[in-house]
Amino acid sequence: MDNSYMALLNVLSYPDPRLHKIAKPVATVDARVKKIVADMAETMYEAPGVGLAATQVDIHERIVVIDVSDDQNELMVFINPEIVWASPEKKTWREGCLSVPEFYDEVERPAQVKVKALDIDGKEFEVDADGLLAVCLQHELDHLQGKVFVEYLSLLKRNRISQKMKKRSKELLGQR
């Protein structure tokens, strides 16, 4: 992939209402979609993060990039991903999000999932995931449904995070 064409994308911050838009399926995996994937991957690595959904960069299509490897050199691309199976067993993980920087909290989710998606070449594949990959997939697929992880938290915590995020964005605007 030619990196000279890649660009960092702007990550939306909670409580931006655009984070609640539901993503539409990708019709064809073409050069436009591959460019989005490359830009999303660069944005995720730069952040640094382990996953990014197109919704977070104000692109409302079903595209997710994930890399849970220690060296951040195993990019996984999921186009039109869907969870086809989730384990009845649950597990709680401490989650964070590029759209909610510096906030982490416990979220309970199925411990394992099976996800069906298209890869960067438009070929269908399935992945059985557990551990961090399972959490990450569920977290990013939530974004495609317009849901941010803080929505699993109590209303009190959510409001507090929302207040702090609004205050932070005002401060950032003031610095410009």
Alpha carbons 155 and 150: distance in angstroms, whole number: 9
Give the 3-state secondary structure of 119-149. Answer: CCCCCEEEEEEEHHHHHHHHHHHHHHCCCCH
Amino acid symbol at 45: Y
Is 95 considered catalytic here?
Answer: no
| Interval 43-86: pLDDT, tens | 999 999 999 999 999 999 999 999 999 999 999 999 999 999 99
Q: How high is the pLDDT of residue 5?
A: 63
* Helices (H) then strands (E): counts for the chain: 3, 7
| Interval 155-176: pLDDT, tens | 999 999 999 999 988 887 887 6
Structure tokens at 38: 């490359």
User: Could you tell me if 44 and 136 are in contact, meaning their C-beta atoms sit under 8 angstroms apart?
Assistant: no
Q: Binding residue per annotation — 143?
A: yes
Catalytic residue among 61, 95, 140, 151: 140
Q: Binding residue per annotation — 139?
A: yes
User: Could you tell me if 72 and 97 are in contact, meaning their C-beta atoms sit under 8 angstroms apart?
Assistant: no
Residue 32, SS3 per DSSP: helix
Identify the structural domains of the chain with CATH numbers, from first to last: 17-175 (3.90.45.10)
Q: Binding residue per annotation — 136?
A: no
Alpha carbons 125 and 41: distance in angstroms, whole number: 19
| Interval 104-148: pLDDT, tens | 999 999 999 999 999 999 999 999 999 999 999 999 999 999 999
